[in-house]
Amino acid sequence: MQVKDLAFTARQAAYDLSALSLEKRNEALKKIGQALQAHAAEIFAENRKDLADAERENLAAPLLKRLKFDEKKMQDVQAGIASLIALPDPLGHTLLARELNPGLNLYRISCPIGVIGVIFESRPDALVQIATLCLKSGNAALLKGGREALHTNRALFAAMEEGARGILPDGWAALLETRDDVNEMLSQDECIDLLIPRGSNAFVRYMMDHTRIPVMGHADGICHTYVDEYADIETAVKVTVDAKTQALAVCNATETLLVHERIAAAFLPPCAKALKEKGVEIRGDEKTQAIIDCLPAAEDDWATEYLDAILSIRIVNSLEEAIDHINHYGSHHTDAIITENESAKQRFMSRVDSAGVYVNCSTRFADGFRYGFGAEVGIATGKLHARGPVGLEGLCTYKYCLLGSGQTVGETTSYTHRDL
């Protein structure tokens, strides 16, 4: 089928899904889990094909690791489905209930968005995670995974379709496979309500430039840790090392360390020592180079997401300069201040224009699981609709239901606006 037809079918399926009870959606999730387990051997075999192809193409080791789908990954997938089943229904919540006039009641009720297109990396478990998040929230999904995971994705998708057959409307999810499919998807604004690209900033911008469909951007993560003049040095070192090194190729790792000039001489030497023990390359501005042994940082460094064991360091004159740096070079993802000063905390939190503004803790906490959202479809760095880790709630919208008994605007001369 062409993408146009898949999108149209998904649109129709979405109307059916929106009226499906929680019991039915959970039953489908359970059956999907069982079908995946039943087809485990085939899925692993298909994954070995992808891995063999990837090795022939000399894919880097971290990417090979993400591509692998084995018994351990299957266990994670099953645990994810079980926890999704246990989560409360995100649909049908009454977000507002108000009498407009006696007998005329307004309700704002949460409901699915409709049809969601997700483009994600070569991590086969992401396919299951995203499809099941969409299903739990009553959305139809068009799913485009990475080319390297093609065989695994086909096997996973076939098992999911088999599991859900007879419970969910046909076409509730579709698997897209090529870059051309993605391009076709961009013009289906009549049928697709939301696009969620997980990928590079350049890719997210490409999509925004070529579609009318709203794009929820999961783009770069240029996160900062700012060590204020009133920081506790031991805390600052510990948090900085975690924020940079606890994982490297992740969007919530700190890429730039900002340091107040009054604390730099005391803080930087022990921090640099701890970072170097973890194998981190430091690129500092001139003032930093005067205090510790490091490579020089260029202007480009402030705007680079290394996703690697590299940290840029800049010394600033004031909290304001740190905030300006973050708002200018950052990606509005997650930024932290280390300080014991209350007014600095407040000023940082109100003026830093990011989805996550942290005090005295690691930027690595920015994650749907750690926030207790159960699972996430991505981290939004835009400001509309959902911000930060996007879970079930971010995949829902609402409608206004107005229940009357023949009321007209002409006859309604006053409004009670009484919350029910």
Site for a copy of itself contains 65 (CB under 8 A): no
Q: Which of 43-51, 178-186, 265-273, 379-387 is the region at the interface with a copy of itself (rule: CB under 8 A)?
A: 379-387
CA-wise closest residue to 119 among 189, 188, 169, 181? 181
x/- track of binding to a copy of itself for residues 2-31 (CB under 8 A) = -------------x--xx------------
Site string for a copy of itself, 323-362 (x = CB under 8 A): x---x-----------------x-x-xxx-xxxxxxxxxx
Contact between 193 and a copy of itself per CB under 8 A: yes
**Nearest residue (CB) to a copy of itself, 16 versus 53:** 16
Task: Look at strands 94-101 and 418-419 and give their pairing.
Answer: antiparallel
β-pair type (94-101, 104-112):
antiparallel
* Least distance from a copy of itself to the Cβ atom of residue 223, Å: 12
- Minimal distance in Å, beta carbon 202 to a copy of itself? 12
- Nearer of residues 12 and 37 to a copy of itself, judged by Cβ: 12
Q: Which residue among 169, 269, 270, 382 contacts a copy of itself (CB under 8 A)?
A: 382
Does residue 220 bind a copy of itself (CB under 8 A)?
no
Task: Mark 124-152 as b/e (b = at least 16 C-beta within 10 Å).
Answer: bbbbbbbbbbbbbbbbbbbbbbbebbbbb
Residues 313 and 224: their CA atoms lie apart, in Å, by 10
> 326: burial class by Cβ within 10 Å (0-12, 13-18, 19+)?
buried
**What does the DSSP assignment read for 64-113?**
HHHH---HHHHHHHHHHHHHHHHSPP-SS-EEEEEEEETTEEEEEEEEE-
Q: Which stretch binds a copy of itself (CB under 8 A): 72-80, 167-175, 180-188, 394-402?
A: 394-402
Q: What track of x and - describes contact with a copy of itself for positions 99 through 128 (by CB under 8 A)?
A: -x---x-x----x-xx--------------
Q: How far apart are CA 411 and CA 404, in angstroms?
A: 13
Nearer to a copy of itself, 124 or 388 (CB): 388
The footprint of a copy of itself on residues 235-274 (CB under 8 A) is 235, 238-239, 241-243, 246-247
- Beta partners for 196? 118
